[in-house]
Structure 1
Amino acid sequence: MKPTLFLCVSFLTFISTFAFAQAPDTAWVRHYHRGSWEAPYSVQQTSDDGFIMVGPSHLLNDSYVEILLLKTDHNGDSLWAKVVGNNQNFYPNSVKEDPNGGYVIAGEKQYGSSPRKAFLLKTDENGDSLWTQFYGSTRGSIANDVTCTADSGYVMTGWRNISGSGDNVFIHKLDANGDSVWLKIYNRGGDETGNCIIQTSDGGFIIGGETDYHTHGRTDFYLLKTDSLGDTLWTRIYGRSDDDRCSSVKQTSDGGYILCGTSDTTGYTSSLAVKTDSNGAVMWQIVFDRGTGGDFIRSVQQTSDGGYIFGGSSINPYQKQDFCFIRTDDQGNILWIKTIDGLNSERAFCVLQTSDLGYILVGEYQYPAPRYWDFC
């Protein structure tokens, strides 16, 4: 039976008036509803100009969490939705369109008291499952992100606990069938997590994440550059005196990198963006803090003019979260900020500039009944 969806996606139309600091208009908002909780953690524009989204889905009377994969057209109207779970707990964190057809989903599987396992799921172009591979250690492993590589394979990052003393960043290179090509684990002590990965223009990889290696209790942004075989070229740490957690990294047109994530103190959250050169040296950094005590910027993309679009959520005067877009120039100077508020809270996870030069932000929307969260 096809699930009924009520997900919420906000789409902004592009207005070429940045010199006047005018934010774009909202073109449409979509909601997709299936059960009592859905959260789209990942979105990508597809080759047909539509969108593919993935996140966990939990029905009110079920004891397990499933994968919800949703395909829309360019207007955000649902084309199909597929649910995968087999009565086990699957938490998907990332989806990518495979250039060779279909989609790949990475995340974690939980079952009873067994250690968590990273998984990679391949589907066809209609979202039907082709194969699933599981990866892990006796102490647990999760995959936070997956990227399709130039050799028609895949690469994942996340964390893996191999000694019981802490979580370690890993890069796992896989072939087109999800079979292991090589696995690199980076163990420097303490807890370190890879949250996002991309293949760089030189064929290597860049990982953004978080580490408490230097502080042992307080986290910092973590940036790891490797060659094509996963061997470390350099590691960089960035942060303030707060808990800084990098959730998004992109390579920029000048060969450098842009990172963003949250920066937490007790009861107060702002957000941090760091621009680096190709060797990870800081070129500039900015703090997003609107003074509300809650600015959660979780995603960044370089825009067609060389600037940046950041997406996330911001606390409003009623102490609820609203969708928030922040547009900057190439030096991090803010051009405009736009919030989209609803009757309840909206938490955003991923932002994109679209092929028509608009912007899309996806997240979850809280119904008046506090137990219900939907794709938004």
Structure 2
Amino acid sequence: MLRSSWKTLMLTTGLAAQLGCGGPAEDSGSLEQPKGTALTGLNALQRLDMPPLTKGVDVTALVASEYHSLALAPTLQNSILSSDGSASSIIQTSDGGYAFTGTTHVLGTNDILLMKLDAFFNVQWAYAYGGSNAESGVEVRQTSDGGFMIAGQIFQNATTNYDFYLVRTDSAGNYYWQFPHGGSLHEYPRAMEVTPDGGCIIVGKTQSNLGYQDAYMVKYSATGAVQWTKPFSSGADGTYEFRGVTNVPGGGYVAVGSRQVKVSSTTWETYGYAVKVSSTGTTLFQVSSGRFAYLEAVAATSTGYVAVGYIYPASSTAGADFYAVRFNTTGGTLWAQSMNAGTRGDYLSDVQVASDGNYVITGSTTPSDTQSNMRVMKLDNSGVALWDFYPYPSTWYTFGQSLARTSDGGFIVSGGYTDPSTNTRYMLLSKFSP
């Protein structure tokens, strides 16, 4: 069973590399065929838990004292620190375990990492996907057959630059296919959701429209074919970008991010941005929320959508505050609020609907230039905080990046920890009670 409140593991994940990923792969045109490298197996070539790549890290000091603002806050049930790299997205899998994607360094440059854990945080398998170019994992979702869809980014070469990169695997991590998608300039993926038809939607930003920076959606079929694309911008006036996306009950998608509004010949202001489209890409609404606001993630119910991010209260140079906004199904604002934690910067990065219909959120605070703390909180449907929780209240560096609800009514958070003595960044996963 999971360890009880405030007990942690000596957290060294022993990972080894072997050649050969297996599974069918299709030709993807000009993109070099990726090399799949298993990070666990019998024919070990390279262990990632041996110096100088990583080291064992005891995180007991991170949770030596508990802080939360309300008595209803959950407890930390289990945690794991993995090899140096980054974990950008986590899910609970259909077998009760977990999978996460991020970035690792195995094939010579940055590579997409997919790691599968059991319910007790034991590593079952892990793969790196990529080629001779630089790739990174952005979002992972499980498909109906138990496999995985990974949205990533690839830097192909000096001519084609950054593109969307979509990888489809079976339940054991063997890839079926991979496809890049991009225009003549940069495309940056930021979020993905698997869609009810078995495909997926990826959102982010493109510069391939005459060099303008447009918010961008791409809808893929279950076989990786592009079904439609949709940019959003006001031309050369400023940057538009999506950072989060979710399926809408009844069909369609809501994406959130930011957009710049030109207020003079030399001045722009940034606003939070939300767009709803139908399943075929027809725009249903576009709305702004919050001057100097940036929306990072969105969660949907049948009655509306809650988006979270951060806002600069005075100008784009002042310290950021937490920001959350709730829209109704037609884009009207039901409430919006900023929350100042009394620190130099407060940032929310992900939100999910909790088992009781309220909203669980993760992010980070920066009490000083030398400290960052993971933060998790819960808001009700009126935007009132039910609890507010620092699971690692030390003076070290931790942050929350992505969260997922778990089958027991709790939730799991992926994020990071930075060793201040070496500036090495580790992947940090944390399981919380309901």
- Please give the TM-score of this superposition, normalised by the length of structure 1: 0.89
Other-structure match for 1:173: 219
The answer to whether residue 375 in structure 2 is matched with residue 375 in structure 1 is: no
Contact 2:109 2:134 in 1 (8 A): yes
1:326 is displaced (CA, Å) by 1.0
Change (3 A) 1:185 1:66: same
Distance 2:324 2:104 in 1: 30
Q: Which moved more, 1:310-319 or 1:275-284?
A: 310-319
1:358 aligned to which of 410, 423, 431: 410
Change (3 A) 1:224 1:214: farther
1:89 is displaced (CA, Å) by 0.4
Name the SS of the counterpart of 1:41 in structure 2: strand
The answer to whether residue 198 in structure 2 is matched with residue 152 in structure 1 is: yes
2:186 aligned to which of 132, 140, 153: 140
Distance 1:42 1:151 in 2: 22
Distance 1:191 1:219 in 2: 9
Other-structure match for 2:71: 21
Contact 1:275 1:285 in 2 (8 A): yes
Other-structure match for 2:43: none
Distance 1:7 1:56 in 2: 19
Name the SS of the counterpart of 2:261 in structure 1: coil
Name the SS of the counterpart of 2:269 in structure 1: coil
Change (3 A) 1:22 1:201: closer
1:79-228 maps to which residues of 2 (within 5 A)?
79-114=124-159, 115-189=161-235, 190-213=238-261, 217-228=268-279
Contact 1:9 1:375 in 2 (8 A): no
1:314 aligned to which of 359, 365, 368: 365
Other-structure match for 2:285: 234
Other-structure match for 2:31: none
Other-structure match for 1:15: none
1:330 aligned to which of 381, 398, 401: 381
Contact 2:91 2:403 in 1 (8 A): no
1:7 is displaced (CA, Å) by 9.7
Contact 1:8 1:362 in 2 (8 A): no
Change (3 A) 1:163 1:151: closer
**Counterpart residue type for residue 24 of structure 1:** P
The aligned length equals 362
Distance 1:221 1:360 in 2: 26
Other-structure match for 2:103: 56
**Counterpart residue type for residue 72 of structure 2:** Q
Q: Deviations over 1:134-176 (max 9, x none)?
A: 1111012122222211112222111122233421122212111
Change (3 A) 1:7 1:67: farther
Q: Percent identity?
A: 25
Contact 1:52 1:69 in 2 (8 A): yes
Unaligned runs of 5+ in 2: 1-16, 18-39, 41-46, 50-55, 429-434
Contact 1:7 1:364 in 2 (8 A): no
- Please give the TM-score of this superposition, normalised by the length of structure 2: 0.78
Q: Deviations over 1:291-320 (max 9, x none)?
A: 111211111112122221110111246741
Contact 1:65 1:91 in 2 (8 A): yes
Other-structure match for 2:334: 283
Q: Deviations over 1:178-211 (max 9, x none)?
A: 0112222223222111212222123211111111
Change (3 A) 1:187 1:294: closer
Name the SS of the counterpart of 1:268 in structure 2: coil
The answer to whether residue 297 in structure 2 is matched with residue 248 in structure 1 is: yes
Distance 1:363 1:147 in 2: 19
Other-structure match for 1:71: 116
Contact 2:94 2:146 in 1 (8 A): no
Q: Which moved more, 1:134-143 or 1:187-196?
A: 187-196
Distance 1:204 1:301 in 2: 18
1:63 is displaced (CA, Å) by 5.8
1:233 is displaced (CA, Å) by 1.2
Change (3 A) 1:178 1:66: same
Contact 2:139 2:191 in 1 (8 A): yes
**Counterpart residue type for residue 195 of structure 1:** R
Unaligned runs of 5+ in 1: 13-17
Distance 1:238 1:67 in 2: 33
1:47 aligned to which of 94, 105, 110: 94
Name the SS of the counterpart of 1:32 in structure 2: strand
Name the SS of the counterpart of 1:213 in structure 2: strand
Distance 2:58 2:90 in 1: 12
